[in-house]
Amino acid sequence: MLVLRTVLRKAFVLSIAMITTSVMADDRDELLSFIDGRYEETADLAQNLWELAEVGYQETRSSELLQSELRAAGFTVEAGVAGIPTAFQASFGSGGPVIGILAEFDALPGINQDAVPQRSPIPGKGAGHACGHNLFGAGSTGAAIAVAHWLEQTGRPGTVRLYGTPAEEGGSGKVYMVRAGLFDDVDAVVHWHPSDQNAAEASTTLANRSAKFRFRGVSAHAAGAPEKARSALDGVEAFNNMVNLMREHVPQQTRIHYVITSGGVAPNVVPDFAEVFYYVRHPEAESVREIWTRLEAAAKGAAMGTGTQVDWEIIHGNHPVLVNDVLARMMDEKLRQVGGVQYNSSEQAFAEQIYTTLNKPGLPLGSEQEVQPFEKSLGYGSTDVGDVSMVVPTVGLNTATWVPGTSAHSWQSTAASGMTIGFKGAQVAAKAMSLAVIEMLQNEQLLRDARAEFDAWRGDDFVYEALLGDRPPPLDYRN
């Protein structure tokens, strides 16, 4: 027997840090009341974004809606940042600390659903808020305005800055904003995401990079002169074959997946163009880079071996989310102070009807009222929040904007995102985030601890480099 063993890697060291809560109970109550008082504004905003359902980099009116709201609340808005017309930053207050709040607002193409508890597509609507980014945008805006209100009331130093971040879905909008240095002066960042449960987010994600590989060959009539042709689809298939062979020889946490986005037009014509769209993911950005180099070699080898040419366009790329344990535990505490979502009777009826349509829901109805136990986890998705988390300590949470058991990107999530269940979830998020932000604005030790953990993880020689390189934002990727 060959002796082969791996000593079990130590799981996260669960540092049981003492969280000193410095927010006074009075401040907290005031803040929560303020947010409750702005429910209609937040709900209207969420509703409007839901109806617009603009897709990545085309969120012109959605972005403008958020900006208007913030301007009206006294924020200074800088629009069109990082070379992206729909990206913006809106600041309030002065001096440090500077705390950022992320706000997404792009919709998903190819899905649409009315805000009703049975499958009901809206004719002619090409996109929908199946990931609840309308709530994300409205809730974060609500939180920012509440913090501004607190800053004004208390006269304390500090700045709250809301980042309007477009095109999260496959567009990596935040990466361009990080690359442009927009987070360089920020002390910490807060974000959230719609979900079917309430929980402080302590989940990592996978680094990823995607590209469209385009093969070009020589066309000819497939029956009359196939020997004169060089099939671009051969290039794609040879490429895929080598990648599938490669699967045995990459670290097991790697994920590589592809779809053939152009596989020829008509069988009687040898294709002179074919395209395959790849993702590569791994828990570590450096591994993505190493595997990517091999992917490129496979593409070039396939072109060489099939008499075709290949080039590729990086489409997007995200760093993994770096979980900050200090901040995550603080967020858990704040969320527990806020609590979950309470349905009224019509919401309860809506939820019950939705629940009957779910496939093996993992949570029971009623769990929307609870906050899940704090738990570290390994996530296998990817998000451009990762890049933010690589340049500034970042913390997030999920709230139950969807009926328990609902998956993202479903008609059920689209429906709930367009009605009061979603809006109430956004309020929970706004409350927990604003509590977290004012904690950070007052608690220097907390920020120091968070930074120390952050610095230790990154190491001394860390240099941020976007995984999507120096490409400009793909403003037309949804055309």
Start-to-end C-alpha separation, the chain: 57
Of the residues 97, 142, 264, 320, which one makes contact with a copy of itself according to CB under 8 A: 264
Structure-block tokens of residue 42: 């937040």
Does position 241 interact with a copy of itself (CB under 8 A)? The reply is yes
Q: Does 60 bind a copy of itself (CB under 8 A)?
A: no
Toward a copy of itself, which CB reaches closer, 97 or 386?
386
Among 60, 377, 452, 465, binds a copy of itself (CB under 8 A): 377
Tell me the window of 57-65, 115-123, 155-163, 261-269 that interacts with a copy of itself (CB under 8 A): 261-269
According to DSSP, the residues that pair with 399 across neighbouring strands are 194
- In angstroms, the CA 181 to CA 160 distance is 17
The answer to whether residue 452 forms part of the interface with a copy of itself (CB under 8 A) is no
Stretch that binds a copy of itself, among 4-12, 24-32, 74-82, 112-120 (CB under 8 A): 4-12
CA dist 42 and 29 (Å) reads 19
What is the enclosing helix (H) or strand (E) of 276?
A: strand 273-282
Residue closer to a copy of itself (CB basis): 355 or 402:
402
Regarding 382 and contact with a copy of itself (CB under 8 A), the answer is yes
Alpha-carbon distance of 293 to 298, in angstroms, equals 9
φ/ψ of residue 395, rounded to 5: -145, 145
CB of 242 to a copy of itself, least distance (A): 4
Q: Give the H or E element holding residue 399.
A: strand 394-400
Q: Using the rule CB under 8 A, is 240 a contact of a copy of itself? A: yes
Task: Locate 97 and state its tokens.
Answer: 């600390």
Site for a copy of itself in 10-29 (CB under 8 A): 11-12
Q: Check residue 292 for interaction with a copy of itself (CB under 8 A).
A: no
Question: Judged by CB under 8 A, does residue 72 bind a copy of itself?
Answer: no
Residue with Cβ nearer a copy of itself (8 or 18): 8
Binding flag, residue 126, a copy of itself (CB under 8 A): no
The HSE-up count of residue 233 (CA atoms within 13 Å, CB side) is 14
Among 229, 328, 441, 467, binds a copy of itself (CB under 8 A): 229
Minimum CB separation from a copy of itself for residue 87, in Å?
17
Question: What part of residues 385-424 is at the interface with a copy of itself (CB under 8 A)?
Answer: 385, 398, 408-409
- Choosing from 13, 18, 25, 266, the residue that interacts with a copy of itself (CB under 8 A) is 266
Please report how close the Cβ of residue 258 comes to a copy of itself at its closest, in angstroms: 6
* Residue from 265, 187, 198 nearest 233 by CA: 265
Q: Per CB under 8 A, does 443 bind a copy of itself?
A: no
Q: Name the residue nearer to a copy of itself (CB basis): 69 or 272.
A: 272
* CA–CA separation, 456 and 467 (whole Å): 22
Instruction: Tell me the CA distances in angstroms from 69 to 2, 64, 192, one per residue in order.
Output: 66, 9, 19
Listed as own residue / partner, the contacts of 349-356 with beta carbons closer than 8 Å and 24 or more positions apart are 349/117, 350/117, 350/403, 350/416, 350/419, 350/421, 351/117, 351/403, 351/404, 351/421, 353/117, 353/118, 354/117, 354/403, 354/406, 354/412, 354/415, 354/416, 355/403, 355/404, 355/405
Question: Binding to a copy of itself by residue 451, rule CB under 8 A?
Answer: no
Least CB distance from residue 111 to a copy of itself, whole Å? 11
* 281 makes contact with a copy of itself (CB under 8 A): yes
342 interacts with a copy of itself by CB under 8 A:
no
DSSP string for 153-179: HH---EEEEEEEE--HHHH-HHHHHHH
Q: Which of 40, 123, 155, 227 binds a copy of itself (CB under 8 A)?
A: 227
Instruction: Return the residue of 126, 157, 305, 364 that touches a copy of itself, per CB under 8 A.
Output: 305
The rounded radius of gyration (Å) of the Cα atoms in the chain is 24
Binding of a copy of itself by 360 (CB under 8 A) = no
Stretch that binds a copy of itself, among 83-91, 111-119, 216-224, 421-429 (CB under 8 A): 216-224
Applying CB under 8 A, among 74, 85, 339, 379 the residue interacting with a copy of itself is 379
